[in-house]
Structure 1
Amino acid sequence: MSTTNKRPIPWGALGPWIALAVTCLFFATQSARFLSGENLSLVLQQVMVVGVLAIGQTLIILTAGIDLSCGMVMALGGVVMTKFAVDYGLNPYAAIACGLGVTTGFGLLNGLLVTRIKLPPFIVTLGTLNIAFAITQIYSESQTITNLPSVMTALGETFNLGSTEVSLGTVTMLLLYAMAWFVLRETAPGRHLYAVGNNPEAARLTGISVDRVLVIVYSLAGLFYGIAAMLSVARTGVGDPNAGQTENLDAITAVVLGGTSLFGGRGIILGSLVGAVIVGVFRNGLTLMGVASVYQTLITGILVILAVAADQMSRKGAR
C-alpha cells in the first residue's frame, strides 16, 4: 500500500490539546469537583482576560516579536475608560472607546518604534511597559475607580446554559478567537503575517510591505489589550491601576504552551486559547488540591521552559 499521500501527524498542533486532556484527566482523579460545569465555567472566567491578551501576543510572536507591555497597557486602558465615565461623566460607550483608543495608540507606538527606528521588540516593549505603568499610577493617583455604570460591567454578567452559569465575557473571548482564527487561516493579511514571521526578506521580495504588516499587527494587538481591559473591568467591577502586573507573562506563557514558536512564522491561534486554559486548569486544580500558590507559579515556570525546549528541538529536527 502506497504511503506517499499520507500526511504526518501534526504533533506540534495536537500537543497542546493532548496536554490539556491529560491535565484535566489528572485533576479529575484528584477532585470530584473539578469536572463540574460550575468549576469549568469558573476556569474559563478566570482565563478570559489573559486569553484575549494572548490573541494580541500571538499576532506579535508570529512575526518573531514579543510584547512585554501588554498587561500594563491593559491596566491603563481600564483606568482611562472607567475614570472618563465615573469622574468626567462621559457616556460609557464613549469612555470605552477612549480606553480602546489609548491601548491601540500604545500598540501603534510599539510598531513605529520597531519599524522606523529598528529597535528590538523586547527593548521597545520593556520601555513602554514602564511608561504605561507610570502613567497609570500618576493618572489614577493609585486609587481604584468604583461605582461604574452598568454598561461597563455587562460582560461580567452570566446566563444559564443548562444548569451551568456562563459569563458573557467568556463568550466574547471565544468569538474573538473564532474571528482571529478565520482571519489568519483564510485571508491574505493572515498569510502575509505568517510570511513576515517566517522570513521577512523573502516576504519583502514577494511584494509584502513588512513594515506595514508589523505596524498593523502591533496596533491590532493594542486593540485586543483594550478589549481585555473591558473584560477585566467587567469581571472585577472596578478600574484597578494595579491590574496587569503579571498578565504579560501569563499571556506569553499561554502563547508558548499553545505551540506558537518564539522564532516566528509558526503557530495556531487556537493553541493560545488552549495554552491559557492549561494554565487556568493547573491553577484551579492545584487550588482544589490545597496546593499553595507559590507551587502553582513554580509549575507554570517549568511548563514554559519545557514548551520552549520542545519548540527548539522541533526546529533543529526540521533542518
Structure 2
Amino acid sequence: MLALVVACLFFSAQSPRFLTLGNVSLITQQVMVVGVLAIGQTLVILTAGIDLSCGMLMALGGVTMTLLAGKAGMSAPVAIAAGIGATTFAGFLNGWLVTRVKLPPFIVTLGTMNIAFALTQIVSSSQTVTDLPQLFTTLGTTVPLFGTRIAYGTVVMLLLYGLAWWLLRETAGGRHVYAVGNNREASRLSGIDTERLLLVVYTMAGALYGVASLLAVARTGVGDPQAGQTENLDTVTAVVLGGTSLFGGRGVILGSLVGALIVGVFRNGLTLMGMSSVYQILVTGALVILAVATDQWSRRHA
C-alpha cells in the first residue's frame, strides 16, 4: 500500500491529469484483466507453483469464444461458456501433469504457454475477430459512480477478489492451500489429499483465465490473437508485489489487487509522461526483481 501511495504521489507531481477521476477510472479498467488473472496466479503460487501460461490461455479463450460467436454463428452465452470451458480444461491439464505425471509447474506451464500461443494463431489465422454480439462488450461498458464512471468488469473483478478472500480465509480448502504451500509432504501426512487439491487449484485458475479473456474482449471489442503476451510477467509482478511469497504458503489475496494496481499505475503514469512502452516493460521487470528480493530478505529475517 505504501508503494502504491508513493507511486501515485510521484506521478501526480509529474502530470496534472494523473489524479483526475477520469484517469483513475481508466486505470481500473486497464487493471481489471490483469487483476483477475492475478487471482488464479495467486492460488497457484500459494501452493509453491507458478503458471507461465495464464496470458496465452486468456488469449486462447478470447479467440475461441469470439470465433464461435462471430464466425460459427453460435449464441453468445454458449460461445462464452465454451471459451471459459477451454481455459478451464487447459488449467485442468496443467494440474494433471503436475500431480499425476509429476512434472515441475514451471516446465508444464511453459509448455502449455507455447501450445496455447500456437493454437491461438492457428485457429484465428492470426486475424483479429470483429463484429461481435453486444453481450461480449457489456462488461466493458461503464456506469456513473461518485462523479466518475466505472466499468462493469471492474465490479466483477472486485467481487471475484471478495469471493477468493472468503474461500482462502474461511474454508478448510483455503487453509489447505496455505498448508500445501508451506510443506506439501507434511500436509499429505496430516491427511490432506494434496494431489486433488492441486488439481482443483489449477482448474480454478484456468476458469479465472477464461473470465479474464471475456473481460479483455469486453474492453477491446475484438478477439485479439496477439493478446496476453506480457500478462504472465504482469501477474507474477502483481502477486509478488502484493506480498505473496514465490516459495508458497504465505500471502493475502487482496495484496494481489494492490500489486495489480501498482503495475497499472506505473504503466499509466509513464504513458502520461510520454515514456515509450519499452520503458514500461523495463520498469515492470525491475519491480518484480525488487519484490522477490524483498521477499527473500523478509524470509531470512524471519
Class of the TM-score when normalised by the shorter of the 2 chains: over 0.9
1:166 to 2:150 alignment:
yes
- What are the residue-to-residue correspondences of 1:87-166 with 2, within 5 Å? 87-166=71-150
User: Which amino acid in the other structure matches residue 34 of structure 1?
Assistant: F
Distance 1:52 1:161 in 2: 21
Q: Does 1:213 align with 2:197?
A: yes
Partner of 1:275: 259
TM-score normalised to structure 2 length: 0.98
Give, in angstroms, the shift of residue 314 of structure 1.
Answer: 1.0
2:162 maps to 1:200: no
Aligned AA (1:69): S
Determine the C-alpha separation between the residues in 1 that align with 2:143 and 2:164: 25
TM-score, normalised to structure 1, is: 0.93
Which runs of 5 or more structure 2 residues have no equivalent in the other structure?
A: none
8 Å Cα contact 2:234/2:284 also seen in 1 = no
Give the 3-state SS of the residue equivalent to 1:208 in structure 2: coil
What letter corresponds to residue 111 of structure 1 in structure 2? G
SS in 1 for 2:12: helix
Moved more, 199-208 or 288-297: 288-297
Which SS does the other structure have where 1:264 is aligned?
coil
User: Which residue number in structure 2 is paired with residue 13 of structure 1?
Assistant: none
1:297 and 2:281 matched = yes
Matches within 5 A, 1:65-104: 65-104=49-88
Deviations 1:60-109 (A, max 9, x none): 00000001111011101001111111111111101111001100000000
Q: Which of these two proteins has the greater Rg computed from alpha carbons?
A: 1
Corresponding position: 1:314 with 2:293? no
Q: CA deviation at 1:22?
A: 1.1
Write the letter of the residue equivalent to 1:22: V
The structural deviation recorded for 1:192 is 0.6
Partner of 1:185 in structure 2? 169
Could you tell me which runs of 5 or more consecutive residues in structure 1 were left unpaired when the two chains were aligned.
1-16
Corresponding residue number in structure 1 for 2:28: 44
Count, aligned residues: 302
Contact kept in structure 1, 2:238 and 2:263, CA below 8 Å:
yes
* Amino acid corresponding to residue 238 of structure 1 in structure 2: V
Q: Distance in 2 between matches of 1:131 and 1:264?
A: 26
Superposed displacement of residue 239, structure 1: 0.7
| Matched letter for residue 184 of structure 2 | P
Percent identical residues? 70
Distance of 1:296 and 1:246 partners within structure 2: 11
State the Cα distance separating 1:168 from its structure 2 match. 0.7
Please point out which of 30, 41, 46 is paired with 1:57. Answer: 41
RMSD of aligned Cα (Å) = 0.9
Letter in 2 for 1:311: D
